[in-house]
Amino acid sequence: MNQFNALYSESFADRHIGPRQSDLNAMLETIGAKSLDELINQVVPANIRLPKPLSVGEPMSEVEFLSMLREKAAKNKTYKNYIGMGYYNTHTPGVILRNIMENPGWYTQYTPYQAEISQGRLEALLNYQTMVIDLTGMELANASLLDEGTAAAEAMNMFYGLDKKSAAHRFFVDNSVFPQTLDILITRSEPIGIEIVRGDYKTFANQVLSDAYNYDQGKVFFKPTLAYGDQTFRNDKKGALAYFVGGDLDYPNDKGFALKPWVKARYDNAGNNNEGIQIYGSVAITMGNVWVTDKEGNEVMVDKTWVFKKGKDGKLRIIVHKSSLPYSPK
């Protein structure tokens, strides 16, 4: 029968995980030391040990201690930082500081490694990521607790982990990425077999357009699937590049069609027995449907019409590209 002992008490130390005296004696006996002091004498060199107690001064109250800290902090000199390389001066608006950074709802009296405070921090990061997604229109946004280089490495691992069965083992890194970020990417990529490829993404996309389209040799008529309004037609290379990779302020609605993580595409010509292909000398015309599949397995069908022309170098390049979503009557 259990009985309540009103006289029972225990010390703070006894309630925490730690060795009992019997455990200490057993460990000391095993390593051949008679006491903890003797163990310290054996393992800590005398020339690095302080022979006298620390000079910490008289005890102070919290108010006195804070006053002393302010007095010492006032002696610090503030200089402008010109280090660059990703280290930029920032300003946090007061409303953000009060309602997010200093909001007691995000933290408690617990230390940061415990779930009680981590949960609030994770909730704040989720709110931030959601805001970034809303502002940019992107499908994903990362808000790593770590530095930029480690966050970039995490993103690389995430891309690789999404489709490990794929034969793609090369990761493109733009030349504008900071060198300290690139170093971490290289370090983290080698053990998992990813090859880092560096370059300018717009230069790479520009070369792809030069190989596939006739912009460098003459005119091209291009009507993209998702273009509309006064920017429906992209008859110059600048407009076509903006549609495929985005990043052009003159085309604010372009998000980069080619940057969407398509994983598969297939094409069917119109009609039977290749009736959807017509060849007239150096010009070939084709019409049909393209199905593209994203990483979630969602498939989209697009109506396509292409006109190819053979150049002086013997290569076929597109001179007409019309793309639209299929018509569906209401």
- Do residues 190 and 256 both lie within one domain? no
Statement: the pTM of the whole predicted model exceeds 0.75: no
Considering just the CA atoms, what is the radius of gyration of the chain in Å? 33
Domain boundary among 200, 215, 241: 200
Residue 126: how many CB atoms within 10 A of its CB?
11
- Do residues 208 and 285 both lie within one domain? yes
- Do residues 211 and 195 both lie within one domain? no
> Does a structural domain hold residue 14?
no
- Do residues 246 and 312 both lie within one domain? yes
- Do residues 317 and 220 both lie within one domain? yes
Residue 241: how many CB atoms within 10 A of its CB?
23
Q: What are phi and psi of 80, to 5 degrees?
A: -75, 140
- Do residues 132 and 213 both lie within one domain? no
> Does a structural domain hold residue 130?
yes
Tell me how far apart the terminal alpha carbons of the chain are, to the nearest angstrom: 78
Closest CA to 96 of 124, 130, 121: 124
- The pLDDT of residue 39 is 92
Asked if residues 217 and 317 have their Cβ atoms less than 8 Å apart, the reply is: yes
Instruction: Give, in order, the Cα–Cα distances in Å from 261 to each of 42, 137, 310.
Output: 61, 15, 31
- Do residues 110 and 217 both lie within one domain? no
> Does a structural domain hold residue 9?
no
> Does a structural domain hold residue 164?
yes
Q: Is 193 helix (H, G, I), strand (E, B) or coil?
A: coil
> Does a structural domain hold residue 99?
yes
> Does a structural domain hold residue 119?
yes
> Does a structural domain hold residue 87?
no
- Do residues 212 and 298 both lie within one domain? yes
- Do residues 309 and 211 both lie within one domain? yes
Where residue 221 sits, what CATH number does that domain have?
3.10.450.50
- The pLDDT of residue 1 is 47
Counting the structural domains of the chain, the total is: 4
Positions in the chain whose pLDDT score sits under 70: 1-17, 81-84, 86-88, 105-118, 144-146, 164-165, 271, 273-274, 330
- The pLDDT of residue 19 is 80
> Does a structural domain hold residue 76?
no
Q: Is 285 helix (H, G, I), strand (E, B) or coil?
A: strand
Q: What is the DSSP string of 33-75?
A: -SSHHHHHHHHS-GGGS-SS-----S---HHHHHHHHHHHHTT
- Do residues 164 and 271 both lie within one domain? no
Q: What residue numbers bound the domain in which 223 lies?
A: 203-324
Q: Distance between CA atoms of 43 and 32, rounded to whole angstroms? A: 12
Q: Distance between CA atoms of 124 and 105, rounded to whole angstroms? A: 10
- Show the beta-strand stretches assigned E in the chain: 170-174, 195-199, 221-223, 262-269, 277-280, 283-294, 299-310, 316-324
- Do residues 196 and 235 both lie within one domain? no
Q: What are phi and psi of 120, to 5 degrees?
A: -65, -40
Q: Is 262 helix (H, G, I), strand (E, B) or coil?
A: strand
Strand partners, 299: 293
Contacts of 202 (CB under 8 A, 6+ apart): 241, 245, 247
Contacts of 227 (CB under 8 A, 6+ apart): 233, 234, 243, 253, 254
- Do residues 108 and 194 both lie within one domain? no
